[in-house]
Structure formats: C-alpha cells, structure tokens
C-alpha cells in the first residue's frame, strides 16, 4: 500500500509536474487551495503533507496551524517561493518539519519525504487508519468517522469489520469468522455474528461502494469497490 500525500498548491503547472513525479511511489491527493486541503484532511487519512504558502482561501501557514491543531505528529513540508529567513522561521515555529524553496529538486523532495516517513513509521504510536467507503476506520478505538459524523462500534463489530477488510472481495466461511473472532463456531456464536453483520449493513446502507453479501450455506463476501 502506497503512502498517501496531501499536496496543496495553487500553481497548476508546478502542481502537475510535482504530482506526476511523485505518484509513481506515492498516492498524491492534490488540492488547489488551503480550505479544500483542510476539508480533505478532516475527511481522509494521510501520511505526510506538502504545502505551498501563498494560496487562496487559506494560506499555507494558516493551513499548517489548523492541521497541527488536529494532528501533532503528521510531517509537514512547506514548498514555497518565499525565501526570507523570517518565513522559514515562521513555518518551523508553526510546526512544519522542513521548508523547501522553489524551484526545488524533485530528488531532494523525495529524499526528505522518505526521511520523514521512516521517522514517523519508527516513532509514531498512531496506527494507519484505512478508508472504508465514506468513512475512516479506527479499529483500535472502535470508530468509523468522516467530516460529518462519528460512529462508535462495539469491540466485536470493530473486529468483524477489520476481518472483512483483511479479506475483502473474497469469500469467507461462517465458521472461519467465528473461530477467528470467538474461538468457537457453535450455534449461539453464529446468532451473534448475524446480529453484528446486520448492524454493519445498516451503517453502510447508503454507501454503494461497500456491501456484505450473504452466500447461503457458505458464508459471506465483503465488497469494497
């Protein structure tokens, strides 16, 4: 799975060239202004942020400050034409991890990205939060969330959803699920499983990208398109 980069840059040419150079190794989500980048950060999960400073609606400094209020750990690299020492110092005081001046070398940018990703992977106590349909799934804290709502799952519901994600688009037998999550496959455990699956179906009822198919006499198939 590729690391995900949130990239905010209003210059179309620079954005295209940078994204084109990075997307071989990373999944790059580009936003043309600071406000849309902030909304994207709130509704999705990323491993590192690359921000221009001079952007409409919300400049890079303001955007980084908002991001830091939401997440104190994610690496932030500024990429800017602003060359004054005062701008560099301001960016670092806000909480940015590095500052590259335009025009910059793609090789240097990739090197910095790799350094911060390795450092974060080594030291970060947060787990990777996968996206499931329109939600971000935090299995450790039993939560599904997006920009407008947070759904708290039971421990069993969270474990079941995690199991489905790990086996998505594949047939899983009922007894395999029961033994993996409960350690047994008796009748009463099976009835509990049906209740939890019904609950998950209700949560994703209005999301066409996620479905749980019942295969009679066999098991289930969790689809994520």
- Same structural domain for residues 135 and 84? no
- Same structural domain for residues 87 and 18? yes
Query: Of 123, 141, 172, at which residue does a domain stop?
Result: 123
Domain count, the chain: 2
3-state secondary structure of 11: coil
Residue-wise pLDDT for 147-159, tens only, equals 888 999 888 899 9
Q: How far apart are CA 71 and CA 92, in angstroms?
A: 16
Residue-wise pLDDT for 159-191, tens only, equals 999 999 989 889 999 889 988 887 766 666 678
CATH number for the domain harbouring residue 194: 1.10.10.10
Residue that has been written with the tokens 């209020």 in this structure: 69
Residue 76's domain spans which residues? Answer: 4-123
Instruction: Using CB atoms within 10 Å of the CB of residue 110, give its burial: 0 to 12 exposed, 13 to 18 middle, 19+ buried.
Output: middle
- Same structural domain for residues 80 and 136? no
Residue 1 tokens, joined: 């799975």
Query: Of 123, 147, 179, at which residue does a domain stop?
Result: 123
Global pTM exceeds 0.75? no
- Same structural domain for residues 57 and 80? yes
Residue 133 tokens, joined: 């349909």
């Amino acid at each position: 799975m590729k690391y995900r980069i949130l990239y905010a840059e209003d210059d179309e040419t620079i954005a295209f060239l940078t994204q084109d150079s990075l997307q071989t190794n990373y999944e790059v989500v580009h936003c043309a202004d600071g406000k849309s980048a902030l909304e994207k950060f709130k509704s999705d999960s990323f491993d590192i942020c690359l921000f221009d400073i001079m952007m409409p609606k919300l400049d890079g400094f303001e955007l980084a400050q908002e991001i830091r209020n939401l997440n104190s750990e994610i690496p932030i690299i500024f990429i800017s034409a602003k060359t004054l020492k005062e701008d560099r110092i301001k960016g670092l005081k806000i909480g940015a991890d590095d500052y590259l001046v335009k025009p910059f070398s793609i090789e240097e940018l990739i090197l910095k990205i790799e350094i911060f990703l390795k450092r974060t992977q080594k030291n970060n106590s947060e787990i990777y939060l996968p996206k499931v349909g329109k939600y971000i799934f935090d299995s450790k804290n039993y939560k599904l969330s997006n920009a407008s709502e947070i759904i708290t799952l039971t421990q069993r519901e969270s474990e079941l959803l995690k199991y489905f994600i790990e086996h998505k688009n594949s047939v899983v037998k009922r007894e395999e699920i029961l033994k993996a999550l409960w350690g047994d496959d008796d009748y009463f455990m099976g009835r509990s499983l049906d209740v939890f699956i019904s609950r998950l179906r209700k949560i994703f009822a209005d999301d066409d990208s996620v479905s749980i198919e019942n295969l009679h006499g066999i098991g289930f198939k969790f689809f994520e398109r």
